[in-house]
Amino acid sequence: MENQVTNNNDEIEIDLGEIFHLILSRLGVIILSGIILGVISIIGTMLFITPQYESTTKIMVLNKQDSNTLTSADMQTSTQLTKDYAELIKSRTVLEGVIAQLNLNITYQQLLGKLTVDTSTDSRIVTIIVSDEDPYTASEMANAIRDMAAEHIQSVMDIEAVNVVDSANIPSEKASPSLAKNGVIGGLLGVIIAMAIVIIIYLTNDTIKVEEDVERYLGLSVLGSIPYSEKESRSKKQKSRKRR
- For the segment 54-96, what is each residue's pLDDT rounded down to a tens digit? 999 999 876 655 455 555 555 555 556 777 888 899 999 999 9
Q: Is 219 left (phi over 0), alpha (psi -120 to 50) or beta?
A: left
| Percent of the chain that is helix, strand, coil (3-state, to 5) | 60, 15, 25
Ordered by where they begin, the domains of the chain are 2-46+178-235 (no CATH), 53-166 (3.30.70.1130)
Residue 49, SS3? coil
Nearest to 133 by CA among 94, 101, 95, 171: 171
Q: What is the pTM of this model?
A: 0.64
Beta carbons of 45 and 125 less than 8 angstroms apart: no
Separation CA 65–CA 167 (nearest Å): 27
**What pLDDT does residue 178 have?**
87
Identify any residues that bridge with 1 across adjacent strands, giving them in sequence order: none
Q: Are 202 and 26 in contact (CB under 8 A)?
A: no
Q: How far is it, in rounded angstroms, from Cα 95 to Cα 24? A: 57
Q: In what order do the strands lie in the sheet with 161-166?
A: 115-119, 125-132, 53-62, 161-166
Instruction: Indicate if the pLDDT at residue 137 is higher than 70.
Output: yes
Measured distance CA(199)–CA(103) in Å, rounded: 57
Map residue 40 onto helix, strand or coil: helix
Contact 170, 134 (CB under 8 A): no
Query: Tens of pLDDT along 11-59?
Result: 444 467 778 888 888 899 999 999 999 999 999 988 998 899 999 999 9
